[in-house]
Amino acid sequence: MQRNIQYIKGVGPVKANLIANQLEISTVGELLLYAPFRYVDRSIMNRLSEVDDLSNYYQFTGKIQAVKEFSFGKKKGFQAVFTDGTGMLPLIWYQRTDWLIEKIKIGTPITIFGKLTIQKNQLQLVHPEVIFSTEKVPNTLVGVYSTTERLTKSGLNSAGISKVIKSILNDSSIQYTETLPLYLREKYKLMDNKNALISLHFPQNDRLLNQAIRTLKFEELFYLQLELLLTKQINFHKNKGFIFEKKTDFLTTFYNNYLPFDLTNAQKRVVKEINRDLRTGSQMNRLIQGDVGSGKTLVALLSMLLGFDSGFQTALMAPTEILAQQHFISIQELLKDLPIRIALLTGSLKNAEKLRLIETINAGEVDIVIGTHALIEDRVKFKHLGLVVIDEQHRFGVAQRSKFWKKNSSLPPHILVMTATPIPRTLAMTVYGDLDVSIIDELPPGRKPITTKHFFERNRLQILGFLRSEIEKGRQIYIVYPLIEESSTLDYANLMQGFEYLCNVFPKPEFQISIVHGKLKPDVKDFEMNRFIKGETNIMVATTVIEVGVNVPNASVMVIESAERFGLSQLHQLRGRVGRGGEQSYCLLVTKDKLSSESKKRMSTMVSTNDGFKIAEVDMELRGHGDIMGTQQSGIMNFKIANLMTDGKVLEVARAEVKAILEEDALLNRPDHFVVKNEINRRMKGKSNWAQIS
């Protein structure tokens, strides 16, 4: 299986190189997992009159009506006109071979198969697969492989790839090894490895094809989960963490006296999960996933109080100054009667001030530090940092997260990351393999679902009338413009035009309008943002800089201009800026008239649901899961056969079996687990020595 494909009959070094370049496949084993993306049923005969899709493969049966040789340049070709009684089709060969001329004559009954093309407004079939009446039509499913133009030019079109795979499967010197224990294969009716691969590429019927696919998916997901769980176990054993022991109990004081509302059940559950983690002696690496407005900040605060009560410093890092400031203000307010020292560390502090603050942090004279990236600067050292909370995780990379690990000379702090990017559970299990995942799947009570409506630009007057009436009720409004690229001057022009237009419609002094975008200086931006937060302005015109985290409960309308230019998850994030108070909130999506079917689907999804997880699923369907923010680097997402969108069930079954195996036989020493041990050793070679778990 590790053999280079150049040694396969009919491949050779040139084609092997091409395949390596174009498909990133170099070994026999890899090519065998290059699955057809669909199958053509060769038992079906089509009619020429029903051809309507050039991406399809067609099969016709009929006879030859005319033949001729032709030349192009110095070479000679051969053409035959085929008919099945419903139409005529030229068949073209660009090499003139004697056997063709010998066998294809006027009146010859023939079956042809292939993909049609158009030349000079006429359909034709170049290099068809030909079956003469004396031969048998392969009465099976034929795999169709995706290929590239360069591969096709070298004879590696779908049929060419199929041929190479066939010669691999016919090569008796290739050894197939079982990777799944026999008892699992029996339990789930899975095929052995060789038969699964044969049926994947050359299925005899639907049933065998499905069984083969099920087998290979199971295998792929089984090893994915095994690798993740083993890695997690290694980390668990490697990274000791602080054990939080209660010395004071300000958490209870706060909970009983200063918490302005009850926790939701989801919040309670997550706090409990965190509390448990902090007492195991291992370092916590936990992700909290909760839709916008689900109250993650409070969970962060309670966790930080756990740290404080155990005598540790804690930190909260936010992706923007505005957000850090908001966290600082609201946490300071909530804790104002408790003897807890809180500080805000951001890049915009004056240098002298910043130095002084860093000194106090390093001396351990501050208990809770809230800040931006400034927190991970090397000179910020802390005295005894017990817990770090990272808000809106998707804005930070893994590298930034790991900088906190070195803040203590003794043990790394516990890490809690929070994200509102909803990722379906199956995906979260794999994307955040190194993190434990907690999900806040409940919104605080009393929230009225946001009403979302889709408008066309020509209905603008209607929208303006609505905005006016909302402002008269005392509400505030966001109007967001797309700014996909920072440098896009056209987008800025639109933003400024929109701003000026609004200033005319809602004139001073009766109305106040703020504007915030990336080209403003940070202090100007903060100033405008704060005017809006304090309720001094009615409308906030902005680019997506306001996308994350900002909390203005009195803002009840979100207008998104050119909404067709935003992705679903971004639209959902933006909508999450409203609906935070007790008032009915609205999200208005404004688009041009003509929309692509994908844009239509995004708009209708937004209008029909507020559920972030549902939206994430549609988003994955539309974009493919590789695109979900931050997952590209993970490398885990390159599945060969499985599809996380649709294979959640298989994933869960595989995961359960892996867990059961590890619980009973952590070192895979049982004879029936030898196949698993061999395979995982091969897969994890050079990654980490999982045997150290013992």
549 binds Mg ion (CB under 5 A): yes
Residue closer to ligand ADP, measured from CB, 157 or 294? 294
Near ligand ADP in 444-463, by CB under 6 A: 444
Instruction: Pick from 5, 165, 315, 420 the residue near ligand ADP by CB under 6 A.
Output: 420
20 binds ligand ADP (CB under 6 A): no
| 179 vs 222: CA distance, rounded Å | 10
Instruction: Pick from 185, 201, 296, 373 the residue near ligand ADP by CB under 6 A.
Output: 296
Residue closer to ligand ADP, measured from CB, 296 or 517? 296
Q: Choose among 469, 471, 449: nearest CA to 583.
A: 449
Instruction: Pick from 51, 263, 329, 338 the residue near ligand ADP by CB under 6 A.
Output: 263
Which position's Cβ is nearest Mg ion? 549
Near ligand ADP in 526-555, by CB under 6 A: 551, 553
Residues 6+ apart with CB under 8 A from 369: 313, 314, 315, 316, 342, 343, 344, 345, 361, 375, 382
Contact track, Mg ion, 499-538, x by CB under 5 A: ----------------------------------------
Largest CA distance in the chain: 99
Closest separation between CB of residue 297 and Mg ion, Å? 5
Closest separation between CB of residue 595 and ligand ADP, Å? 29
Instruction: Pick from 19, 116, 298, 429 the residue near ligand ADP by CB under 6 A.
Output: 298
Q: Which two tokens stand for residue 293?
A: 């407005």
Residue pointed to by tokens 């639907």: 206
The binder of 580, among ligand ADP, Mg ion, none, by C-beta within 5 to 8 A per type, is ligand ADP
Instruction: Pick from 157, 267, 283, 289 the residue near ligand ADP by CB under 6 A.
Output: 267
Going through 121-235 in order, the beta strands assigned E by DSSP cover: 122-126, 129-132, 141-144
Residue closer to Mg ion, measured from CB, 307 or 549? 549
Task: Note the Cα 568 to chain centre separation in Å.
Answer: 12
The binder of 515, among ligand ADP, Mg ion, none, by C-beta within 5 to 8 A per type, is none
301 binds ligand ADP (CB under 6 A): no
The binder of 551, among ligand ADP, Mg ion, none, by C-beta within 5 to 8 A per type, is ligand ADP
The binder of 293, among Mg ion, ligand ADP, none, by C-beta within 5 to 8 A per type, is ligand ADP
- Measured at the alpha carbon of residue 154, what is the angle toward residues 150 and 156, in degrees to the nearest 5? 85
One-letter amino acid of 596: S
Residue closer to ligand ADP, measured from CB, 285 or 297? 297
- Contact between 645 and 621 under an 8 Å Cβ cutoff? The reply is yes
Please provide residue 549's backbone torsions phi and psi, each rounded to the nearest 5 degrees: 70, -25
Q: For the chain, how many residues are written?
A: 694
408 binds ligand ADP (CB under 6 A): no
| Inter-CA distances, 500 with 296, 514, 545, Å | 37, 11, 19
Q: Are strands 586-591 and 129-132 parallel, antiparallel or unpaired?
A: unpaired
- Contact between 381 and 409 under an 8 Å Cβ cutoff? The reply is no
Closest separation between CB of residue 442 and ligand ADP, Å? 9
- Measured at the alpha carbon of residue 615, what is the angle toward residues 614 and 619, in degrees to the nearest 5? 120
261 binds ligand ADP (CB under 6 A): yes
The binder of 261, among ligand ADP, Mg ion, none, by C-beta within 5 to 8 A per type, is ligand ADP
Instruction: Pick from 297, 408, 452, 562 the residue near ligand ADP by CB under 6 A.
Output: 297
Q: Choose among 517, 514, 543, 541: nearest CA to 530.
A: 514
Per CB under 6 A, the segment of 26-34, 255-263, 371-379, 423-431 that binds ligand ADP is: 255-263
Residue closer to Mg ion, measured from CB, 294 or 562? 294
The binder of 294, among Mg ion, ligand ADP, none, by C-beta within 5 to 8 A per type, is ligand ADP
Instruction: Pick from 292, 358, 546, 559 the residue near ligand ADP by CB under 6 A.
Output: 292
Question: Order of strands, edge to edge, in the sheet holding 539-542?
Answer: 451-456, 586-591, 555-560, 476-480, 539-542, 513-516
Please provide residue 387's backbone torsions phi and psi, each rounded to the nearest 5 degrees: -155, 135
- Measured at the alpha carbon of residue 48, what is the angle toward residues 44 and 49, in degrees to the nearest 5? 115
Closest separation between CB of residue 579 and Mg ion, Å? 14
Closest separation between CB of residue 370 and ligand ADP, Å? 14
| Inter-CA distances, 556 with 474, 535, 577, Å | 10, 12, 8
Q: How many chain residues are in contact with ligand ADP, going by CB under 6 A?
A: 18
Q: Choose among 225, 257, 107: nearest CA to 639.
A: 225
Instruction: Pick from 36, 114, 295, 422 the residue near ligand ADP by CB under 6 A.
Output: 295
Contact track, ligand ADP, 566-605, x by CB under 6 A: --------------x-------------------------
Closest separation between CB of residue 376 and ligand ADP, Å? 21
Going through 426-473 in order, the beta strands assigned E by DSSP cover: 436-440, 451-456
Residue closer to ligand ADP, measured from CB, 11 or 542? 542
| 300 vs 302: CA distance, rounded Å | 6
Q: How many chain residues are in contact with Mg ion, going by CB under 5 A?
A: 1
The binder of 434, among Mg ion, ligand ADP, none, by C-beta within 5 to 8 A per type, is none
Instruction: Pick from 282, 294, 438, 569 the residue near ligand ADP by CB under 6 A.
Output: 294
As to burial, measured by CB atoms within 10 angstroms (0-12 exposed, 13-18 middle, 19+ buried), residue 97 is exposed
| 661 vs 232: CA distance, rounded Å | 15
The binder of 527, among ligand ADP, Mg ion, none, by C-beta within 5 to 8 A per type, is none
Query: Under the rule (CB under 6 A), what is the footprint of ligand ADP?
Result: 261-264, 267, 290, 292-298, 420, 444, 551, 553, 580
Query: Under the rule (CB under 5 A), what is the footprint of Mg ion?
Result: 549
